[in-house]
Amino acid sequence: MTPAARVQSAIELLDRIVEAARAKAAPADRILAEWFRNNRFAGSKDRRAIRELVYAAIRACGPVPASGRAAMLRLAETDPAIAPLFDGSNYGAAPIAEGEPVAEGGVAPSWLIARLAASGVEDGEAEALLDRAPLDLRVNTLKAERATVTLPEPAEPTAAPHGLRLTTGTPVEQWPAFRAGEIEVQDTGSQLACLAVGAQPGETVIDLCAGGGGKTLALAAAMDNQGRLIASDTDRNRLSRLAPRAERAGAADIATILLNPQREMEALAEFAGEADAVLVDAPCSGTGTWRRNPEARWRLDEQELSRLTTLQAYLLDVAARLVKPGGRIVYVTCSLLDEEGAGQFDALLARHPDLQPRALALPLGRPRGQGIRLSPGPDSTDGFFIACAARVQAAA
Ligand SMILES: C[S@@+](CC[C@H](N)C(=O)[O-])C[C@H]1O[C@@H](n2cnc3c(N)ncnc32)[C@H](O)[C@@H]1O
């Protein structure tokens, strides 16, 4: 493909991504994967270049652009190499017309910028939400150690005790250490969220919103496969991804429990008041993960945010029923908005006088409310709010 044809393909893909974001349909990475599957004429170099163009254009726009072409024209304003490729050549993008509409730049739609600012995320910290994420690994201590694991390329240790950092795009999935389950791909922020749980061998630990089990596997390693580890979620598909990953990681005896929304305690009844620790990695707006999914800014609206905050409060109340006296709830969201983080946690403590905040000692992050915030700019991790509450023991 010519460079101009790649630009035109990126424009067409952006049209689909914009449409899907408006309809809250497929995410950008899925749209790209499908397009590459159906357009085999695009070789690996073409695919890489088109992907780069698409994501650079998404990052260059703040609010949802009117069209893919308007988004690419916005990118052309910031990258002088792009405009000459609108050359009208065969399969290429049509020349730029006088006064053509150009999408607006910025960090996010204005209502979200205001919510971030109200949560203390502004200027450089807000801009860093759109940085490119590095590739972080967690060495799986069930099978290997960070100091001795053998990898084909050098990796930098991170602040997480078992973390390593590589350049984005390193094909780790093809490495023998990955296939052997010695390493997992996991952002440093996620690793620190798991560290905050402080899971110990022999404990009963519930990963209430386990999804595909990324954090469950880190908990299994911390527990050295000893104790009871329960991974639950309402999404059958996501939960089903855990078993093969657990097998590769050598994580034994993780109980997976599929939950019915609003009837979670029915499936978890045997653990009521029994858990040493409950991790609530709640569904959230994902404002801390825009480095990976920059078009998620276009999917979110105030109604969805309100639905999510209601669900988070509800899940925290479920966790409060599961934790035993002396046990702990660790609340995690990959969001930087206070209504999903510090505010949500304060509200939990206000609803449950038997829960007391517990200080966390993490190697990165800054206090936010009664928890800790990690942020892509200062911490070079995904954005997270992490807080811990312990259930007080009844007086003897
Ligand atoms: C942030 S994701 C979890 C990611 C996962 N912990 C990981 O590390 O890969 C939030 C999860 O909450 C799940 N969820 C949504 N509603 C739920 C509910 N009522 N009970 C339990 N899980 C729920 C979603 O299906 C989603 O997998």
Give per-residue pLDDT as tens, 44-89.
999 999 999 999 999 999 999 999 999 999 999 999 999 999 999 9
- Domain 135-185 CATH (choose: 3.40.50.300, 3.40.1350.10, 3.30.70.1170, 3.40.50.970): 3.30.70.1170
Confidence class of residue 19 from pLDDT cuts 50, 70 and 90? very high
Please give the distance, rounded to the nearest whole angstrom, from the Cα atom of residue 257 to the centre of ligand 1: 12
Condensed to tens digits (0 to 9), the pLDDT of residues 138-160 reads 999 999 999 999 999 999 999 99
With tokens 């040493």, the residue in question is 276
Cβ atoms < 10 Å from Cβ of 4: 18
Q: Given the DSSP bridges, would you call strands 163-166 and 156-157 parallel, antiparallel or unpaired?
A: antiparallel
Which residue ranges make up each domain of the chain? 3-106, 135-185, 196-391
Average pLDDT, the chain: 96
350 contacts: CB under 8 Å, gap ≥ 6: none
Average pLDDT over every residue of 263-286: 98
CB 210 near ligand 1, within 6 Å = yes
The protein residue with its alpha carbon nearest to ligand 1, atom 10, reads 283
Average pLDDT over every residue of 1-5: 94
Confidence class of residue 253 from pLDDT cuts 50, 70 and 90? confident
Quote the tokens at residue 232.
């639950």
CB 353 near ligand 1, within 6 Å = no
Angle at 56 between CA 51 and CA 58, to 5 degrees: 95
CB 200, CB 223: distance < 8 Å: yes
Reply yes or no on whether the pLDDT at 394 is more than 80: no
Write the CA distances from 33 to 40, 69, 262, 378, integer angstroms. 11, 20, 34, 32
Q: Which of 221, 198, 219 is nearest to 210 (CA)?
A: 219
| pLDDT for res 327 | 98
| pLDDT for res 169 | 87
Q: d(Cα 295, Cα 64) in Å, to the nearest integer?
A: 8
| pLDDT for res 395 | 64
Reply yes or no on whether the pLDDT at 396 is more than 90: no
Q: Which of 61, 194, 334, 388 is labelled catalytic?
A: 334
Burial of 70 (0-12, 13-18, 19+ CB in 10 A): buried
| pLDDT for res 193 | 98
Q: d(Cα 384, Cα 314) in Å, to the nearest integer?
A: 19
Active site residue 334: yes
Q: d(Cα 234, Cα 218) in Å, to the nearest integer?
A: 20
| pLDDT for res 372 | 98
Write the CA distances from 302 to 29, 228, 298, 308, integer angstroms. 24, 39, 12, 10
Cβ atoms < 10 Å from Cβ of 392: 13
Please give the distance, rounded to the nearest whole angstrom, from the Cα atom of residue 222 to the centre of ligand 1: 21
pLDDT more than 90, % of the chain: 97
Condensed to tens digits (0 to 9), the pLDDT of residues 329-368 reads 999 999 999 999 999 999 999 999 999 999 999 999 999 9
User: pTM of the predicted model, to two decimals?
Assistant: 0.95
Look up the CATH number of domain 196-391. 3.40.50.150
Reply yes or no on whether the pLDDT at 34 is more than 70: yes
| Torsions phi, psi for 22 (to 5 deg) | -65, -35
Confidence class of residue 248 from pLDDT cuts 50, 70 and 90? very high
303 contacts: CB under 8 Å, gap ≥ 6: none
Condensed to tens digits (0 to 9), the pLDDT of residues 84-125 reads 999 999 999 999 999 999 999 999 999 999 999 999 999 999
The protein residue with its alpha carbon nearest to ligand 1, atom 13, reads 209
CB 220, CB 181: distance < 8 Å: no
Please give the distance, rounded to the nearest whole angstrom, from the Cα atom of residue 63 to the centre of ligand 1: 27
Condensed to tens digits (0 to 9), the pLDDT of residues 194-226 reads 999 999 999 999 999 999 999 999 999 999 999
CB 194 near ligand 1, within 6 Å = no
Quote the tokens at residue 40.
């085999």
